[in-house]
Structure formats: structure tokens, C-alpha cells
A and B are shown apart, each in its own frame.
Chain A
Amino acid sequence: MDDQTTEGSPEATEGAGPGTAAGAGSATDAADSGAAPSRRALLGWGGAGLALGAVAAGGTVAAVRGGDRIEPAAESGAAVPFHGTHQAGIATAVQDRLHFASFDVTTKDRAELVQLLKDWTRAAERMTAGRTIGEGAYGGVAEAPPDDTGEALGLKPSRLSLTVGFGPSLFAENRFGLADRRPDALVDLPGFPGDNLDPARTGGDLCVQACADDPQVAVHAIRNLARIGFGKVAVRWSQLGFGKTSSTTPGAQTPRNLFGFKDGTENIDGADPAALDRHVWVSAKDGAGWLAGGSYLVARRISMRIESWDRTSLQEQEDIFGRDKGEGAPVGKAHEHDKPNLKAMLPTAHVRLAHPDAHHGVRMLRRGYSFTDGTDGLGRLDAGLFFLAYQRDVRDAFIPVQQSLARSDALNEYIQHVGSAVFAVPPGVRDTGDWWGRALVS
């Protein structure tokens, strides 16, 4: 196959130097008290849960600058604060698991869409705090199905973050009167050479990214939001992910992708406000005021030809990436974090093509995951990388980088892009009176 597309690994946007470790011991609030509370314990907590939120939300610009959303080394059971200037799940330290869902809005009624966003927000506040939604999973009316599906009972909050995005199709003329609010930067992605996009894995009006350290907690969140949404939205496609392929806490060990290579060595540090402001957060000056404090998300399902890769010689594998397999050092260097000498790499090497130096310093914040959906009918691993990248403007970031990779990347022989979507990710929910997308649809 000649599929040439790219961006197989989050090498794509390496920064210049190693990021600062975000402080291995600086656990946030909930984690400070030692073992995180279980969901069951939180059921009775109401007030305490709110207090946690208040500390985290802080509300002031100063607190935000100081690292709102940053929660680098929280214990894996802790709760990630839901409220803030930015949505959790972007700069937040990357959790171990993902359930990502794309939805079509089926209602034509704007008021219903607004109500859905409010209902989702209230449910997300509860679930991210480790609480059940509605009246809980048991103890209600015997004749009715419980409000909460119950599979997360007894589990810790597990750093669940829920992040919402709006696809270009939501802004279509004659739908919800949002056509004039579509940001210029929310473009439809162009076709890239080698793309083999499955419509059933592409696009969507809304997305929800659920990240957690426990897959059951992430799946519970998407399942319950989908349930709340029936009749107003329908799941278009969804993707489970495991084994984060990049880290927003660069001090931690760099994760490897399914090709066995270290990825995201120098991803944007979630605790580096300057880099976030420059490359990730949309500014009011960028155009659409409602999106200030938000970001743009590109999601790509990248299928990997695992068996072919595994039969490829070590030399070729390393040449293709431009790094060695053991240490992760760039070609000709000794250590993973050594500054790469791009000219020493093959012109088609993945790192060389994806590096910020090849793209006027452009960077994206990547938080993709490996996936495997078992095997296909031929016994081949149905696996790959679910690429997720946040950026301030896709026209400066993902699109040019991907065009370059799609054209030349040596990795294209082993990967193929089979799903694609782009979303405008609104700013954070400020407090319990606020809701996802309020500034857009109000």
C-alpha cells in the first residue's frame, strides 16, 4: 500500500528543550490528604466536594496564571477540579485511559441543545468529583431504571476529566443560528494524501473526551452522558484508548507508542503557562470572543500496520523515526533529551519532518492514546494511535505539519489515517452556575 499519511507519533511537535518537571510531589488538593476518597464515600460528601471545587476554581486570574488545571502529579485516584478558566483534560496531566465520543446533534431545537449542554455540565461536575449522577445508581424508584448506571460505584474519581468540543457542522447555516459565530480558525480539515477516512469514524457536531486512570470510570462517564443525550444527540463514533502516547508532564518517563518508540519527549508542559498561552489557548484577540480561553482539537484515528512494522529491521525503524529505539535519542545523539540535529536524519525521517524547527516553531499539545480494537478478520492487530492534539490555530499547526508528513514521511508505509475530526473547544466552566458553551449559545 502506498498510504502515505503521517503524524504517526506525537513526535510531531517537539519543543526546544526538556520541560521542567512539574514537581513530582506537588499533588493537588484532593491528593494531599492521602488516599483519595472512594465514590461511595463522596456520595455523602456534598459540601466537602464543593469545597474542593472552590479551592481549585479559585476564580481569580492570578490563580489561573499560577497553573489553573495543572495537576501534574496528583495521585491516580484523585479528583481533577472541574471548574476553571480552561477546561480540564487539556493541560491536565495526561491520565492513563481514554474514552472519546463524537456526537451528532439530532434535535433541531436550539433550546434543547442548550438544555443538553446544561444537563451534561451538571452531570460532569458530579462524575469528575467521583459522585453518581441524578439520584444515584440504587435506592430510587424500584420500577424505574436508576439515573446512574452504577459501574463506577466504589471506584475513586480516578482523575476523570471531561472535555467538550464543537465541530464545524454545528455552525452550519440554518441549524442553530450559529453560522456567524463560527471562528475563522475552525476550518474543515483539507484532504491529506493517503487519507482513507471512514465516514463512520469521522466528524461530529459535538465531542466529549473522557480521560481517567481507570477505564471503567472513563467509559461510565461517556455512557451516562450518551444516555442523558438520547433524543437530542446520537453517538456518531467513539474510541477507547490506553497507554498515553504523550505526556504533559515532561519530567515523567516518556511513554512509547505501539511501534515501541518513545513519543512526546518534549510535548508542551502543562505547567508552562507561557507555552500554553502561545500555542494552545485561544486569545480574545484571535477572533471569536466566545472561544477565548478555549482551544482547537484535532482527532485522528491512525491505523498502524503492526505486523509489517514488526518485521522491519531495527536500523530501518530507527531511520524512519530519526531516533534510536532504546534510549529515544535523536540520530547522532546520546540521550533522549539532547537537541536533535535534524540534518543528520533522513529527509523523510518522522522527527525531522514533524519538528517545530521545520514549521517555524509551531507546537501542539498532544495527548493521544494507543488503541487496539482486537484483531481484524484476518487475525491482524486492529491497532494504532488515536491522535489528539490541542492548538491555538489548526491553520498554523496541525494542517501544515500534516501536509508535510503526508507528503514525505517514511512512516507512511506503516500507518494510515482512517478517522478524522476537528473541534473548537470552549473555555472552562467557571462555577456551578456556568455551563459548557454558554458564551457560544447565549
Chain B
Amino acid sequence: MRPARLSVVSAIAAVAALTAVTGCTEKSDSKAAAGAVRVTADDTSCDVSKKEFPSGHVELAVENKGSKVTEVYLLFPDDRIVTERENIGPGTKATLTAEVKSGSYEIACKPGMKGDGIRQKVTVTGGTAAARSPEKDAAVAAYRKYAQEQADATLPKVKVFTDAVRAGDIEGAKKAYAPSRVGWERTEPVAESFGDIDPLVDTRADGLEKGQKWTGWHRLEKELWQDKKLSPDAPGLADELDKDLADWQKRVGTAVITPTSMANGAKELLDEVAAGKITGEEDRYSHTDLVDFKANVEGAQQSYELLKPVAVKNDAALVTELGKQFAALNTLLDKYRAGGAGSGEFVSYDTVREPQRKELSDAVNALAEPLSRLAAAVVK
């Protein structure tokens, strides 16, 4: 865990400068203004009254004529949320407002509040438009979706872990510990961009500030492996972990993600490996570091694969090198799989000796160095 990353901070600044929007939803369901865009939602459609409107103050007047609770979003081309409104019940109305610059957007209705929703492309005209690259927007949108999927898939796995903790089932909890972390580790730079969640769920004993209560995965890890018994606090800690990660799941779609932050995030994932996994510090009690290691690499590779169509135009040699080094590192990691290919299980890191750790470290260096140049290849 660590405080907000430099890349995230600079990404926020960049995006603020580019697009500028304050999204907010009205507290009440007051009547829509005359110039509002009417959005009529039902269980299978999402109609908008106009697909082109001027920049500036925009108001969406939503009416849910379907049978399911719905959500309505105004989205950037990279799927980042401009403004949203959840929990619009059947037969009810809601109003969303935002200051919007000119450009292409989408309006999405999500009947049942699930999935990608039913989408309509809309165009905002006039004023100055932020320059956009469809390729980069597609990469960011796909990565945003990936981050959301990882969070969605993580919660049930965490529940297996926390249920076992609450039940006092030490063996069950140990078994569920590493799998519960995979989604988080794959998207760690995004997860860490919510600076308040990371300290609650992924802090290690030596990362605690004075007066900070130790919560999250590693506290339970210590109880399970080192103390070999669960403390009276354990069920409460399990509840908090569920709650904090549910918060992450809910907010992950709002993270500021740019091509640059994706590229730097990939490099940061390798930094995570170099700083905590190679040394065995991350999972010092359970020695499941290689599971986290693999997840970090997978997350980095996801960013890279999505950015590849952009990067290859600017620096084909770099893309070739990255493909080679990802393959080399993955091949090396495969040597440590405990349950056969694809099992997701890896040998205990305390059985990995110094020369092998050196070999892993060398492979991480070989990948991280060219990966540090991905952002430049993407922004050119």
C-alpha cells in the first residue's frame, strides 16, 4: 500500500484540463427544465429525445417506464462517468445535470443495474472540443471494463475467505486467502488510486502509521499463519474487509484512467513485484507471494495488450521487446506452478531459493525497463 501515485495524480490533472466536467445529480426529482434531454428507459430500450445538444449545462430528464430498477449514465468515450444516477425505480423520474464540453458521449441505461447497459451515442456541439483518439478511448474503455470485472469477480472470492474466517475455519480461510487477492493485485494501481481503501485492506504490519488500526488481508494472514488462531476481532475484521472491498467495487468505474496511467500502471505493477514479491515481504506469513506476483504481471500484461495497437505505430521495436519479455517472465513463473498449468496455485515462496529469486528478479528487470518506455510510445 502507498499513498496516491504520481501517475494517478498527474493523470487527474491532465484529464481535468482536457475534459472538464462536473457531474452531479440533483438531490430531488424536480421537474426537468425546458431544454432538457429526455431519457425514456424501460427494460429493453433507452430512448433519448435528442442526440445532439450544445455544450455547457446539460440536463438529462429520466423516466423509467420499465419494470426493473435502472441506472442512467452519461459517459465519456473511454467509459469514464460524466454523471450518473442509480436506483431509479420503475415508474419514477430523475434528473441528472453536468457541465459538458463538446465531443462524443454515450448515454447508458442499465435495467436491473447490471452489465454494460443499453447505449445511445450523443454529440455535444459548440465550444472547444477536447481532441480524442478513438483507439486510445477504446483501450481505456476496455481497461476500465477489465478493472470493473476484476472487482466484480473478487467480491465472491473474498466472501469465501471472510465466511471461513467468521466460521473460525482456519484451513478453509488459508485456502481462500490467496485467490481472494488476485483481482485486487491485477488492478492494484487503479485500486490504489482510491487512497482511502488501500490502507484499510492491503496494509502490512510495518506500513502502519501511529494510531492506525491494522485491518485487511495481511492482518488476517498473520493470524492464520503466524498466530495459528483467529483472534476475537477476526469476524469483525472479515466484515470490514467485505465492506471496504464493496466500496472499491462500487467506485472502480469512476477511477481516472488514461492511456498514460494505464502504461505507467503496468510499470507500477512490476514495481510492486520488485518491491514486495521478489523479497517475500508481501505475504510474509502465508508465502503465497507468487500468486500475487502472477496477478501483478497479468494486470500489467492486460494494460500492455490493450495499448499495443497504439504503441506499435510509434515504437514497433518496443512492442516486440515487451512481447518477448512478458513471455519470458510468464514461462519462468510457470516453473513454480504447484497445481499444474492454469491452476492459479504456486509453490510456497519460502521454498524459492536465493539463486531462483535472482533469476526472477532479473526477468522482472528485463521486462520493467522496456515497460517504463510504454507511456512515451503511447502519448507520441
Residues of A within 8 A of B (CB): 104, 106, 141, 143-145, 200, 227, 230-232, 234
Contact = CB atoms under 8 A, between A and B. Distances in A.
Given A106-B362, A231-B366, A231-B369, A143 B375 contact: yes
B379 interface: yes
A230 B373 contact: no
Given A106-B362, A143-B264, A230-B369, 18 more contacts: A141-B379, A141-B380, A143-B263, A143-B376, A144-B372, A144-B375, A144-B376, A145-B373, A200-B354, A230-B366, A230-B368, A231-B365, A231-B366, A231-B367, A231-B369, A232-B366, A234-B358, A234-B366
Contacts, number: 37
A145 B376 CA distance: 9
A143 B369 contact: no
28 contacts: A104-B362, A106-B362, A106-B366, A141-B376, A141-B379, A141-B380, A143-B260, A143-B263, A143-B375, A143-B376, A143-B378, A143-B379, A144-B372, A144-B373, A144-B375, A144-B376, A200-B354, A227-B369, A230-B365, A230-B366, A230-B368, A231-B365, A231-B369, A231-B370, A234-B358, A234-B362, A234-B365, A234-B366
A144 B263 CA distance: 10
B325 interface: yes
Interface of B: 260, 263-264, 321, 325, 354, 358, 362, 365-370, 372-373, 375-376, 378-380
A252 to B, nearest CB: 40
B321 A231 contact: yes
A102 to B, nearest CB: 13
Nearest to B380: A141
Nearest to A147: B373
Contacts of B366: 106, 230-232, 234
B300 to A, nearest CB: 15
A211 B263 CA distance: 37
Nearest to A226: B365
A1 B373 CA distance: 52
Contacts of A104: 362
A106 B328 CA distance: 11
A232 B366 CA distance: 8
Nearest to B366: A231
A292 B342 CA distance: 54
A contact face: mostly helix, strand, loop, or mixed: loop
Nearest to A228: B369
B5 to A, nearest CB: 14
Contacts of A230: 365-366, 368-369
Nearest to B363: A106
Contact of A231 (B325, B373, B378): B325
A230 B358 CA distance: 13
A164 B373 CA distance: 28
Contacts of B373: 144-145
B95 to A, nearest CB: 39
A145 B267 CA distance: 11
Which of A104, A143, A232 neighbours the largest number of chain B CB atoms within 10 Å of its CB? A143
B289 to A, nearest CB: 20
A200 B372 CA distance: 28
A230 B380 CA distance: 24
A232 B321 CA distance: 11
A145 B371 CA distance: 10
Going nearest first, the 8 A-B pairs with the smallest beta carbon separation are: A144-B376, A231-B366, A234-B362, A143-B375, A230-B369, A141-B376, A230-B365, A143-B379
Contacts of B376: 141, 143-144
A62 B362 CA distance: 45
A227 B368 CA distance: 10
Contacts of A227: 369
Contacts of B365: 230-231, 234
Contacts of B369: 227, 230-231
A145 B370 CA distance: 10
B105 to A, nearest CB: 26
A182 B303 CA distance: 45
A231 B363 CA distance: 7
A144 B373 CA distance: 5
A104 B362 CA distance: 10
A145 B369 CA distance: 9
A188 B376 CA distance: 45
Nearest to B377: A144
A192 to B, nearest CB: 24
Nearest to B328: A231
A77 B46 CA distance: 74
Contacts of A232: 366
B372 A145 contact: yes
Contacts of B372: 144-145
**Residue in B264, B365, B379 whose Cβ sees the most chain A Cβ within 10 Å:** B365
Contacts of B368: 230
A227 B372 CA distance: 12
A24 to B, nearest CB: 45
Residue of B369, B372, B378 with most partner-chain A CB within 10 A: B369
Nearest to B365: A230
A227 B366 CA distance: 9
Nearest to A104: B362
B134 to A, nearest CB: 20
Nearest to A109: B324
A140 B223 CA distance: 49
A145 B358 CA distance: 24
Contacts of A231: 321, 325, 365-367, 369-370
Nearest to A144: B376
B369 to A, nearest CB: 4
A423 to B, nearest CB: 20
Contacts of B321: 231
A104 B369 CA distance: 17
Contacts of B379: 141, 143
B32 to A, nearest CB: 43
> Most A CB atoms within 10 A — which of B263, B325, B366?
B366
A145 B264 CA distance: 11
Nearest to A232: B366
Max chain A C-beta neighbours (<10 A), residue from B354, B368, B373 = B373
A182 B172 CA distance: 58
A182 B92 CA distance: 84
Contacts of B263: 143
Most chain B beta carbons < 10 A, residue from A106, A200, A227, A231:
A231
